[in-house]
């Protein structure tokens, strides 16, 4: 009984930590200035909280901590005072000092508790030392800042302290629960204060792409929960709830008009439905059943999602905008009626959001929408992520000298624009990386792209080709290990790594404070750790056979 209570405490502790990580992701993706930087830095503190259940406190070993505490407090106060006078964002500096102070205690713990034999056994694994080498090279590049050093601290903490094998299930269960709770809390607030007056639904973020990534991550959590509940043979309505909510996340994602999160969802869905039924349950009937059921659930939840994001905010009728969002004459105000023309109609959402998604398979919205809804007049394409761009000459260094590989004026679709973006970043790769002043380029006088829309290309551009190659190899190796773990029953790593990979091939996933960074660090740790355990088990089996 006591053991069961302890397990539940661990699970809810991990869940609470991931709720905090979700809040950090939301603040990073919507706030500006001090608030954004402060919450971003809190990621390091939450990562320490995730490791607390792994730490064994012993009174007889408390002396170093007691001696260090007054020194740490004095140094922290001095650092905060100094930072107030020389740092742009006060909260960012204070939380940076807090990170260093908290992690210093973990370093003392590692020095006292971890045997060098065990430590060497952990870090000699390829995924560990390659990740550390990659982060060190990133820090040594010409790209300013200490973000790679911060990543090294977070990943290193997990690699050295880690999650005990017996608590792995509690960790993953708590992680899924935390992500799901984060979604419900965040979406309820969005239902109250975020009117649907922009065709690509932003939810509680200032950007639709960030909101799409949020739904993609939550989709993964619901899907993994569904798998584990099926494996444990839970009640049918619990299993159906998670499956149905997975479908709802697809509908929410479609309303964001994001192609990258849809790619991630499609890849994960295909892998899980085929992999789970073919490799695990050895039945093709299950593939058809789950595929058809998912499609039916998406069709059912799509209008439900529209009704919720369109009409629930009219109850409180207190619109909240983030900086830069308000557009005179288009944004809904508190004095507008509930049926104002400023709200996005269902037909328009179909035309733009579903139309953008169908562009992935070459289907034009102009050919099927009028047939589906014959009472709707043709609407002009609105709110494209990448508007028509005038492109003049190759360069990109300033608005008067934009980058143009074709040398002619053109109206670029999102796919064509990404080709230009990839061409620019690929042509400017080098061994030492680039500083932040040269992080992007101008594609026209009015449009500047600040990132590569591809995580591997971004790392190679910012930190050098060697770092980019290492990051690619680390990710592929982790995917391979995750696939092997999947065959053993651990679906979490492969689901999240596959989703982030597909999203990261077309968007940015390496921003400090973004939950994708934390998830990658955690999944890299588990694939490396459990891959090492699988290797040991295979050796033991081979020795017993001999």
2-52 tens-digit pLDDT: 556 777 899 999 999 999 999 999 999 888 888 888 899 899 999 999 999
Any domain includes 137: no
The span from the first CA to the last CA of the chain, in angstroms, equals: 42
**Counted domains in the chain:** 3
In a domain, 106, yes or no: yes
Q: In terms of residue numbers, what domain contains 48?
A: 13-113
Task: Evaluate whether residue 422 is within a structural domain.
Answer: yes
Round to whole Å and give the CA distance between 309 and 346.
11
Residues 306 and 373 in one domain: yes
User: 389 - beta bridge partners?
Assistant: 410
Distance between CA atoms of residues 514 and 25, nearest Å: 5
Looking at residue 495, its pLDDT comes to 97
Do 372 and 397 belong together in one domain? no
Does residue 416 belong to any structural domain of this protein?
yes
Claim to verify: residue 108 and residue 172 sit in the same structural domain: no
The pLDDT value recorded for residue 120 is: 66
157 assigned to some structural domain: no
Q: HSE-up of 86 (CA within 13 Å, CB side)?
A: 6
Which runs of consecutive H residues, i.e. helices, occur in 279-391? Answer: 285-311, 313-316, 346-349, 355-358, 365-372
Same domain, 78 and 181: no
- Per-position DSSP letters for 291-302, written without gaps between them: HHHHHHHHHHHH
Quote the pLDDT of residue 226: 96
Residue 167: inside a domain: yes
pLDDT at 391 (0 to 100): 38
Residues 245 and 349 in one domain: yes
Out of 380, 410, 431, a domain closes at 380
Are 109 and 176 within one domain? no
Dist. CA 464–CA 141, nearest whole Å: 7
pLDDT at 390: 36
Domain endpoint, select from 328, 350, 380: 380
Looking at the structure, do residues 88 and 170 belong to the same domain, yes or no? no
Whether residues 361 and 407 share a domain: the answer is no
Q: List, for residues 131-173, the tens digit of each pLDDT value.
A: 889 999 999 998 877 788 878 888 888 888 888 888 999 999 9
pLDDT score for 383: 34
Q: Are residues 459 and 498 in the same domain?
A: yes
In a domain? residue 105: yes
- Kindly give the parts of the chain with pLDDT less than 50: 1, 368, 372, 375-394, 408-411, 532, 534, 536, 538, 540-546
CB 456 within 8 A of CB 414: no
Q: What percent of the chain has pLDDT over 70?
A: 84
Alpha carbon 247 to its chain centroid, in Å, reads: 19
Task: Clarify whether residues 247 and 299 are in a common domain.
Answer: yes
Same domain membership, residue 188 and residue 311: yes
Domain-located, residue 132 = no
Do 470 and 376 lie in a common domain?
Answer: no
288-296 contacts at long range (C-beta below 8 A, 24 or more positions apart): 290/243, 293/243, 294/243, 294/246, 294/247, 294/250, 294/269
What integer pLDDT is reported at residue 282 of this predicted model?
76
Residue after which a domain boundary falls, among 380, 396, 411: 380
pLDDT of residue 252: 97
Q: What is the pLDDT of residue 111?
A: 81
């Amino acid at each position: 009984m006591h053991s069961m209570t302890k397990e539940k405490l661990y699970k809810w502790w991990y869940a609470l930590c991931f709720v905090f990580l979700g809040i950090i992701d939301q603040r990073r993706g919507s706030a500006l200035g001090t608030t954004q930087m402060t919450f971003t830095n809190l990621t390091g503190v939450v990562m320490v909280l995730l490791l607390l259940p792994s730490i064994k406190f012993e009174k007889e070993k408390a002396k170093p901590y007691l001696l260090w505490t007054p020194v740490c407090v004095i140094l922290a106060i001095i650092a905060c005072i100094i930072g107030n006078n020389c740092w742009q964002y006060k909260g960012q500096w204070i939380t940076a000092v807090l990170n260093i102070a908290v992690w210093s205690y973990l370093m003392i713990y590692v020095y006292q508790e971890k045997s060098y034999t065990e430590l060497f056994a952990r870090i000699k694994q390829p995924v560990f030392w390659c990740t550390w080498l990659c982060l060190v090279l990133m820090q040594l590049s010409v790209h300013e800042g200490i973000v790679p050093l911060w990543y090294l601290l977070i990943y290193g903490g997990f690699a050295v302290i880690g999650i005990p094998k017996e608590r792995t299930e509690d960790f993953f269960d708590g992680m899924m629960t935390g992500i799901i709770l984060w979604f419900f809390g965040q979406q309820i607030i969005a239902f109250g204060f975020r009117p649907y007056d922009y065709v690509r639904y932003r939810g509680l973020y200032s950007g639709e792409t960030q909101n799409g990534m949020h739904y993609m991550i939550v989709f993964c959590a619901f899907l993994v929960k569904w798998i584990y509940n099926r494996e444990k043979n839970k009640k049918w309505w619990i299993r159906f709830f998670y499956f149905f909510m997975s479908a709802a996340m697809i509908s929410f994602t479609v309303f964001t008009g994001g192609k990258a999160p849809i790619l991630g969802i499609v890849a994960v869905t295909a892998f899980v439905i085929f992999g789970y039924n073919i490799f695990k349950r050895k039945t093709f009937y299950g593939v058809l059943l789950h595929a058809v059921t998912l499609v039916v659930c998406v069709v059912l939840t799509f209008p439900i999602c529209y009704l919720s994001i369109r009409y629930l905010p009219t109850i409180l009728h207190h619109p909240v905008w983030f900086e830069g969002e308000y557009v005179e004459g288009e944004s809904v105000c508190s004095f507008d009626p509930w049926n104002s023309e400023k709200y996005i109609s269902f037909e328009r959402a179909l035309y733009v959001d579903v139309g953008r998604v169908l562009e992935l398979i070459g289907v034009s919205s102009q050919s099927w929408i009028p047939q589906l809804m014959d009472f709707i007049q043709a609407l002009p394409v609105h709110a494209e992520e990448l508007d028509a761009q005038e492109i003049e000459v190759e360069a990109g260094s300033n608005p008067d000298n934009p980058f143009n590989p074709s040398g002619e004026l053109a109206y670029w679709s999102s796919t064509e624009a990404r080709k230009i973006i990839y061409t620019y970043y690929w042509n400017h790769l080098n061994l030492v990386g680039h500083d932040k002043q040269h992080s992007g380029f101008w594609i026209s006088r009015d449009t500047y792209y600040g990132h590569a829309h591809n995580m591997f290309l971004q790392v190679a551009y910012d930190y050098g080709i060697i770092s980019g190659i290492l990051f690619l190899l680390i990710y592929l190796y982790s995917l391979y290990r995750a696939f092997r773990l999947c065959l053993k029953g651990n679906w979490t790593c492969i689901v999240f790594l596959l989703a982030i990979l597909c999203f990261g091939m077309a968007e940015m996933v390496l921003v400090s404070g973004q939950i994708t960074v934390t998830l990658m660090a955690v999944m890299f740790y588990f694939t490396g750790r459990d891959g090492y355990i699988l290797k040991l088990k295979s050796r033991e089996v081979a020795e017993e056979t001999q």
